[in-house]
Amino acid sequence: MIKAGIVGGTGYTGVELLRLLARHPEVELTAITSRGEAGTAVAEMFSSLRGSVDLKFSDPKDAPLKECDVVFFATPNGIAMQQAASLLDAGVKVIDLAADFRIKDVALWEQWYGMTHASPALVAEAVYGLPEVNREQIKAARLVANPGCYPTATQLGFLPLVEAGCIDLDHLIADAKSGVSGAGRKAEIGILFSEASDNFKAYGVPGHRHLPEIRQGLARAAGKETSQIGLTFVPHLTPMIRGIHATLYARITREDDFQALFERRYASEPFVDVLPPKSHPDTRSVRAANTCRIAIHRPQGGDTLVVLSVIDNLVKGAAGQAVQNMNIMFGLDECSGLSQVPVLP
C-alpha cells in the first residue's frame, strides 16, 4: 500500500483528495495536516467522509509526513516551495496542487505571483503533471507540478491543433468559465451566495496568473518560445459550484480533418473524451469525474475553429489529476481510484 499524506486538507481540493484517496485500492491515508484544525476529526469537519476517513487533522510539525511514500500539497501558493525539499531528501515523492513549480521561468513566476521563489533549483527538476503530454517524465518524477484547472481545460482543447501546426499561434483566444469552488473555500465577498448567485462576470482580464502557464504549455507543444504564443485568455465566474467550460478559438492555417485529428490524438487517453461532430459538452457531464470532454466546431465552414472543452475543476482540474499523476509515478493502473461516473443532476 502507498502511504499518502496531504498538507492543507481543509480546502475544496483537500477534501476532494480525501474523497478519492479514501476509496483508492492501493492507498493508505497516513496524515492530513491543518494548523488551525489540529486535533479535529476529519469526519467532524467533512461529514461526507464519515465511515471513510478516520484520521484527525494534525499540526504540520507533528505529522508523520516523512514516513509517507507521497505527499500532496493542497495549499495556497508559496507553501510547497518551502517544504518540498526536506520531504524529497527523505525519499518522499511530492505532488503540488498549487502553482509553485509550474512555470519554469522563475523570474516570470515571481512577477505573476508577487513573491520570491524559495526553491528555484527544484523548479528545474519538477515535471509538469499533464499526463496527456508528459506521461513518460511523470513516471520517473520525484516532484510533480499539478496543472491549474483553466490550463488543463485550455491546453487539452488546443493541443492537437498546436501539435499539428494547422492554426495561427498569434491569435488564439480562450474564453473560459469556472464555478465558484475554483476560488477556494474561504470567506470572500465576491464568492458569497448573494453575490455570485444569479450573476455572471469576467475577471482578471488585464492578466490572470494562469496565462503564463497556458502559454508555456502551448509553446512547448509547438516547439516555440513562450513569447511566440499570442493568447488572449479571459476567465469568468459563473453561478455554479463545480465545472469549467472553455470555449477556444483558433484561426485555420492549413486544412485537415480536424475531428479525426482530435480522435487520433486522444484515442488512447482514458480521461479525454472526444465527442461526435456537432456536440456541445456541458459541465454537468463531467461533474465529480476525472474526465475532459471535447467537441470541435467550424461555424459556417469559415476559417475559425471553435473547440469546446469541459472539466470538473476540482477533479481533472485538481485532485483527480493529482491522483492520476500519483498512479503513474508508482506504476499503478492510471485509472485506479478514478473510475467514478459523473454525477447527475
Interacting residues of 236 by C-beta distance below 8 A, sequence separation 6+ = 175, 176, 177, 178, 200, 201, 202, 203
| Per-position b or e across 313-345, b if 16+ CB within 10 A of its CB | bbbbbbbbbbbbbbbbbeebebebbbebebeee
Amino acid at 53: V
Residues assigned a catalytic role: 149
Distance CA 71, CA 90 (A): 12
> Are 334 and 268 within 8 A, CB to CB?
no
Neighbour-count burial of 227, counting CB atoms closer than 10 A to its CB (0-12 exposed, 13-18 middle, 19+ buried): exposed
One pLDDT digit (tens) per residue for the chain, 345 residues: 999 999 998 999 999 999 999 999 999 999 999 998 999 999 999 999 999 999 999 999 899 999 999 999 999 999 999 999 999 999 999 999 999 999 999 999 999 999 999 999 999 999 999 999 999 999 999 999 999 999 999 999 999 999 999 999 999 999 999 999 988 787 778 778 888 889 999 999 999 999 999 999 999 999 999 999 999 999 999 999 999 999 999 999 999 999 999 999 999 999 999 999 999 999 999 999 999 999 999 999 999 999 999 999 999 999 999 999 999 999 999 999 999 999 988
Question: How much is the pLDDT for 75?
Answer: 96
Distance CA 143, CA 94 (A): 5
Half-sphere exposure of residue 331: CA atoms within 13 angstroms, side-chain side: 2
> Are 210 and 221 within 8 A, CB to CB?
no
Cis omega before residue 299 (within 30°)? no
Half-sphere exposure of residue 195: CA atoms within 13 angstroms, side-chain side: 9
Question: How much is the pLDDT for 207?
Answer: 94
Distances (CA, A) of 187 to 14, 131, 190: 17, 33, 9
> Is 2-125 a domain of CATH 3.40.50.720?
yes
Return the residue matching grid coordinates 476560488: 183
> Are 76 and 7 within 8 A, CB to CB?
no
Question: How much is the pLDDT for 182?
Answer: 87
Interacting residues of 126 by C-beta distance below 8 A, sequence separation 6+ = 96, 101, 102, 141, 143, 144, 145
Question: How much is the pLDDT for 193?
Answer: 82
> Is 150-312 a domain of CATH 3.30.360.10?
yes
Amino acid at 332: L
Distance CA 85, CA 228 (A): 33
CA angle 157, 14, 241 (to 5 degrees): 55
Q: Is the dihedral of CA 11, 73, 226, 166 positive or negative?
A: negative
Which regions of the chain carry the CATH code 3.30.360.10? 150-312
Neighbour-count burial of 73, counting CB atoms closer than 10 A to its CB (0-12 exposed, 13-18 middle, 19+ buried): buried
At 119, list the grid cell: 526553491
Question: How much is the pLDDT for 251?
Answer: 98
Which regions of the chain carry the CATH code 3.40.50.720? 2-125
Strand pairing of 244-251 and 172-178?
antiparallel
3-class DSSP assignment, residue 202:
strand
Question: How much is the pLDDT for 112?
Answer: 97
